[in-house]
Homo-oligomer: A and B are copies of this chain.
């Protein structure tokens, strides 16, 4: 066969391939968000994604700028209690197993004795003290091993299921839907970064470099070439610290941001998202489903008020979600 013949045959083959490999019957469009009920919020999401990915639309956003940021606790998985709180208790137990004398010392003593009054009275300061005691003074590798061991057996209280089962199914679909449409999805969490990273790919399909979180101070030790976790907070990723961290790590306004009401932690992130140069979408998960999940709200409804004022979409777990957790 000479080159001309080959070229002709090749062209013919391509034409035939294109002409004959179409399905004979057009299948109905597949719903990318099957666990979402039809309604205002679902429509706002799909309309937005269609507009900003349509090259002929004035709302088109280049793929490189399609940054989406999601809070984690109460937004991607349940937060009553925080999963990281379970890890703190797990760490306390491991530490006491190695050094029983710790059980006599606060704040370990209160944890062992389930001294709720002491723990509640201590508030944020005590929480930070416990977090520091259980998350630092070791190498990064050691902490990551501990997190891995924790997740392999952890059970979520009240629901008696592995922690993986308290992720929100509709949100898993949303993450996939956004990625399928060229969005780069980040987690921007109040949890510590390495803890969330230890499950971010497995639980959410999010690689470690797309997790922004709270952190302790890292020190590189030349002699061992390892990262040592100093007992000093580097960054507490909540409220207005979230946009600051997003600027530092990503350098762009997210065009889509999703948080939840409950701790007022995501108002600033959603506001920052709305202040970018592109059309944007803000989503706020409302915990209004005491049957399937939990019902709780802020003392002053700050998040819901901000949503109303700024036209953010409020996701009612009760009404917008067909299902809350994976099967």
CB distance from A20 to the nearest CB of B (A): 5
CB distance from A290 to the nearest CB of B (A): 32
Taken residue by residue from 221 to 260, chain A's Cβ proximity to chain B (1 for < 8 Å, 0 otherwise) reads as 0100111000000100000111110011111100000000
Interface size on A, residues (CB 8 A): 50
Contact check, A251 vs B194: say whether CB atoms are below 8 A apart: yes
Q: Is A296 close to B, CB under 8 A?
A: no
Contact check, B240 vs A222: say whether CB atoms are below 8 A apart: yes
Question: Which of B16, B67, B274 interacts with A13 by CB under 8 Å?
Answer: B16
Q: Is A26 close to B, CB under 8 A?
A: no
Contact check, A225 vs B9: say whether CB atoms are below 8 A apart: no
Contact check, B13 vs A272: say whether CB atoms are below 8 A apart: no
Taken residue by residue from 272 to 307, chain A's Cβ proximity to chain B (1 for < 8 Å, 0 otherwise) reads as 101100000000000000000000000000000000
Contact check, A252 vs B208: say whether CB atoms are below 8 A apart: yes
Question: Which of B10, B140, B184 interacts with A247 by CB under 8 Å?
Answer: B140
Per the 8 Å Cβ criterion, residues 187-244 of A in contact with B are 193-194, 197, 201, 207-209, 211, 215, 218-220, 222, 225-227, 234, 240-244
Q: Which residues of B contact A13 (CB under 8 A)?
A: 13-14, 16-17, 20-21
Q: Give the oligomeric copy count.
A: 2
Q: Which residues of B contact A140 (CB under 8 A)?
A: 247
Taken residue by residue from 1 to 40, chain A's Cβ proximity to chain B (1 for < 8 Å, 0 otherwise) reads as 1010010011011101100110010000000000000000
Q: How far is the CA of A10 from the CA of B13 in the complex (A)?
A: 9
Q: Which residues of B contact A184 (CB under 8 A)?
A: 209
Q: Is A124 close to B, CB under 8 A?
A: no
Question: Which of B24, B225, B247, B249 interacts with A3 by CB under 8 Å?
Answer: B24
Q: List 28 A-B contacts (CB under 8 A).
A: A6-B20, A6-B24, A9-B20, A10-B16, A12-B16, A13-B16, A13-B17, A13-B20, A13-B21, A14-B17, A64-B201, A184-B209, A194-B251, A208-B251, A209-B249, A209-B250, A209-B251, A215-B248, A218-B247, A220-B242, A220-B272, A222-B240, A225-B272, A227-B243, A227-B244, A227-B247, A234-B248, A249-B249
